[in-house]
Amino acid sequence: MAHVVAGVLRRGGRAIRSLGPATVAVTLALIIGAAGFADAATGGTFLLGRTNTDNATSVLTDTTGIPLSLNAPSGKSPLSVNSTLQVNRLNAQYVGGQSAKQLQATGGVGLTAPAVDIPLPTQVTTEVAATGELAAGTYYVSATAMLYAGGTSPIYCRINGAPTNWGGGSGSNYLQAAETADVTVPANTVLTEVCYAYGTNQLAYDAAIIAIRITSSSTGTVPTQLPRHIVPGLRKRSHVGEPPRS
């Protein structure tokens, strides 16, 4: 655009020199305005570094590649908008700093085969169900198992790798264990349900564990924990790594 103005000035230089200062200023303003140096309007030229105004939708098409590329210095956003309304069909790779892959719904599940008994040796931690390898993230985990006590000796189960939350108990013959937790794990972690028996000839079967990854940026509310002294029959403490005794 500058060469257009320069050419006009060269061709009309002699005439301009013959005019007064005020006339020269007005003439230059008209030349520059006609050349497109004013703010662009509908149908006009888009001006970089200036505020452009339009009253119709502008369409940018590139038949060979990416129509628009925006570059910004580190720490600066390459694009800003003035509305919180949803942009239809906008495909984004990152949401809140998390990639699309990180936000994909995923999880793992493990089930024992039907009618298969899993022996529980006395005072030994035994794995009864496993999720398989998980992607990195935070998961809601739930595990259950049907237990056979065969008497009054207790059996307890928990989610290995999660905050201690024992299921099961003591009683005659059959017991049901159920545990839940939220766990943050690195990639390729396998979460398991393990059981700990105090008696002999004790079994677990129909065990299952399921982990569902949380796709929100928040894990939700903090778990509500009742003070131990108001829960009837619950021991105030147990040995680390072992379930409470009856």
Q: What are the pLDDT digits (tens) for 152-172?
A: 789 999 999 887 788 998 877
Q: In one letter, which amino acid is 234?
A: L
| Residue 156: its H or E element | strand 155-160
pLDDT of residue 237: 44
Q: How many CB atoms lie within 10 A of CB 97?
A: 7
* pLDDT tens digits for range 42-87: 777 888 888 888 888 888 899 999 999 999 999 898 989 899 898 8
**Token pair belonging to 114:** 């039907």
**Token pair belonging to 62:** 């590139």
Domain assignment of residue 49, yes or no: no
Domain assignment of residue 80, yes or no: no
* Nearest Cα residue to 195 out of 240, 155, 141: 155
Q: 213 pairs with which residues across the strands? A: 139
Domain assignment of residue 137, yes or no: yes
Farthest-apart Cα atoms in the chain, separation: 118
Domain assignment of residue 226, yes or no: no
Q: Find out whether 106 and 128 touch, Cβ atoms under 8 Å.
A: no
Phi first, then psi, for residue 157 (nearest 5°) are: -130, 155
pTM as predicted: 0.55
pLDDT tens string, the chain, 246 residues long: the values are 444 444 444 544 444 454 455 444 444 444 444 444 445 667 778 888 888 888 888 888 999 999 999 999 998 989 898 998 988 988 888 777 777 666 666 778 888 877 788 999 998 999 999 999 998 888 999 999 999 988 778 999 999 988 778 899 887 788 899 999 988 889 899 999 999 999 888 999 899 999 998 866 555 666 555 554 444 444 444 444 566 665
What's the CA gap between 132 and 122, in Å, rounded? 26
Phi first, then psi, for residue 45 (nearest 5°) are: -90, 135
Domain assignment of residue 229, yes or no: no
Domain count, the chain: 2
Full DSSP string of 41-59: -TTS---TTS----SS---
Q: Find out whether 175 and 149 touch, Cβ atoms under 8 Å.
A: yes
Domain assignment of residue 166, yes or no: yes
**CATH number, position 135:** 2.60.120.40
pLDDT of residue 222: 62
Q: Are residues 120 and 214 in the same domain?
A: yes
Domain assignment of residue 29, yes or no: yes
Expressed as residue numbers, the domain containing 19 is 1-39
The position carrying tokens 């089930």 is 111
At 132 the three-state DSSP class reads strand
Domain assignment of residue 171, yes or no: yes
